[in-house]
Amino acid sequence: MVLRDPDSVPPAPVPNLHPPYTPDCPPFRIHGCYQLTRLIGSGSYADVWNGVQMDTGAEVAVKFEPIHPDVRESLPYESAIYAQLEGVTGIPRIHWSGPEHGAYVLVMDKLGPNVEELRRFCRGALSLRTVLMLGEQMLTIIEEVHARGIIVRDIKPENFAMGLVEEYKCLHLLDLGLGKLYLDPTTGKHMPFREGRGGIGTPRYASHNVHFGLEPSRRDDVEAIGILLLYLCHGRLPWQGIVAPDIPSKLLRIGEMKRGKPFADLLTKSPAFFDPFFKHCRSLDFDTQPDYAYLRNLLRRTMKDHGWEYDWEYDWWSPGERGTLLPNEYKLDMGLVQPVRHRQDVL
């Protein structure tokens, strides 16, 4: 072993020779301890990779947003929102975040299949029992998120995913890139009401107000959860696939449908609790806190009326009866399959 003179000049750091991140050329390791295994998916601004934490063997999800000199990255903002929500049940934990390999990187808990994948897995719609169980968890998560001064503004089934390992029965909320502080962190005052805002979030599930340019607030998150629950019950919403000459007129048309007869007709075909649910959401003022307990009670009472227990037994546990499509999470990874051995090799 060579002993170095403590007064000598320290060795120059090893230069990072890895080329900047691209999906075709991902780095082998992140922050020295997270090894990438495969690409899970790509969103509008980031790629998400499956990774393994080398010291514990735990799976993680690693989100990359390439850094461009003239584009402001969104991932540092999303990471700050996650930091504000640290410790909230149903929000994935952040293990590390920062710039590396020419990209901004966010290492977080790996989650399981999302609700949209599970809906497809269950032949396009979920049973009322499963919808009620998911709805209760969604309301609990959103209540805690709102309590930390943040609104989500992008409620959609792709952004709710089941956990993995011991959290496999619990719903989680991910992708908070459109989240916003609605309370001033120093004064605690609610943000001001504004009109003429551009569309935000996913129009299929957005509240009616958002279509008419009103600034979204807590009431719009809970209304969007109601619309998402309607979607999960029916497997489709009346404003899907409508045709309009351009995007602004399409958004307006959907907004009119949500305010008018198509929405009222949809409610008559839906379980009775939806009526008081939307009445409550639509009676709220811009800065009023929704009554989460009342909304959860509506779902609980419907469970009771049907004689159901909250037993965490979701539709996807009986794939023989309902399943048709496999969510990506459940696809067999052939790399992990042992080659079949012949009987004489075993004996």
Ligand X SMILES: Nc1ncnc2c1ncn2[C@@H]1O[C@H](COP(=O)(O)OP(=O)(O)OP(=O)(O)O)[C@@H](O)[C@H]1O
> Does residue 61 touch ligand X according to CB under 6 A?
yes
Angle 86-90-91 (CA atoms, 0-180°, nearest 5)?
35
Q: How far is the CB of 288 from ligand X (least distance, A)?
A: 28
Number of residues this chain uses to bind ligand X (CB under 6 A): 18
Q: Which stretch binds ligand X (CB under 6 A): 108-116, 122-130, 189-197, 295-303?
A: 108-116
* DSSP per-residue string spanning 16-63: --SPPPBTTB--SEETTTEEEEEEEEE-SS-EEEEEEETTT--EEEEE
Residue 180 or 300 having the CB closest to ligand X: 180
Choosing from 95, 101, 110, 146, the residue that interacts with ligand X (CB under 6 A) is: 110
Choosing from 92, 157, 179, 201, the residue that interacts with ligand X (CB under 6 A) is: 92
The single-letter DSSP state of residue 175 is -
> Does residue 79 touch ligand X according to CB under 6 A?
no
Q: How far is the CB of 75 from ligand X (least distance, A)?
A: 8
> What token pair was written down for 109?
């808990």
> Does residue 39 touch ligand X according to CB under 6 A?
no
Report how far Cα 257 is from the mean position of its chain's Cα atoms: 26
> What token pair was written down for 327?
């969510």
Q: How far is the CB of 289 from ligand X (least distance, A)?
A: 27
> Does residue 224 touch ligand X according to CB under 6 A?
no
Q: Are 30 and 36 in contact (CB under 8 A)?
A: yes
Q: Which stretch binds ligand X (CB under 6 A): 37-45, 190-198, 224-232, 269-277?
A: 37-45
The single-letter DSSP state of residue 99 is E
Q: Which residue is nearest to ligand X (CB)?
A: 43
The one-letter code for the residue type at 258 is: K
> Does residue 271 touch ligand X according to CB under 6 A?
no
Q: Which of 262, 218, 260, 219 minimizes the C-alpha distance to 240? A: 262
Side-chain half-sphere CA neighbours of 305 within 13 A = 11
Contacts for 22 with CB less than 8 Å, ≥ 6 apart:
66
> What token pair was written down for 114?
């999302």
Rg of the chain, C-alpha, whole Å: 23
The three-class DSSP label of residue 215 is coil
Residue 68 or 343 having the CB closest to ligand X: 68
Q: Which stretch binds ligand X (CB under 6 A): 105-113, 134-142, 234-242, 339-347?
A: 105-113
> Does residue 111 touch ligand X according to CB under 6 A?
yes
Residue numbers annotated as active site? 154
Choosing from 5, 15, 44, 68, the residue that interacts with ligand X (CB under 6 A) is: 44
Residue 288 or 328 having the CB closest to ligand X: 328
> What token pair was written down for 6?
């403590």
> Does residue 344 touch ligand X according to CB under 6 A?
no
> What token pair was written down for 78?
């999303």
> Does residue 45 touch ligand X according to CB under 6 A?
yes
Q: Are 110 and 60 in contact (CB under 8 A)?
A: yes
Residue 158 or 275 having the CB closest to ligand X: 158
Residue 139 or 174 having the CB closest to ligand X: 174
Phi, psi (degrees; rounded to nearest 5) at 50: -80, 140
* Dihedral over Cα of 244, 247, 248, 250: its sign: positive
Is 258 assigned a ligand-binding role in the annotation? no
Q: Which stretch binds ligand X (CB under 6 A): 107-115, 129-137, 221-229, 238-246?
A: 107-115
Residue 121 or 278 having the CB closest to ligand X: 121
> Does residue 152 touch ligand X according to CB under 6 A?
no
173-212 residues in contact with ligand X (CB under 6 A) are 174-175, 177
Interaction site with ligand X (CB under 6 A): 40-46, 48, 61, 92, 108-111, 114, 174-175, 177
Pick out the residues of the known binding site for ATP. 63
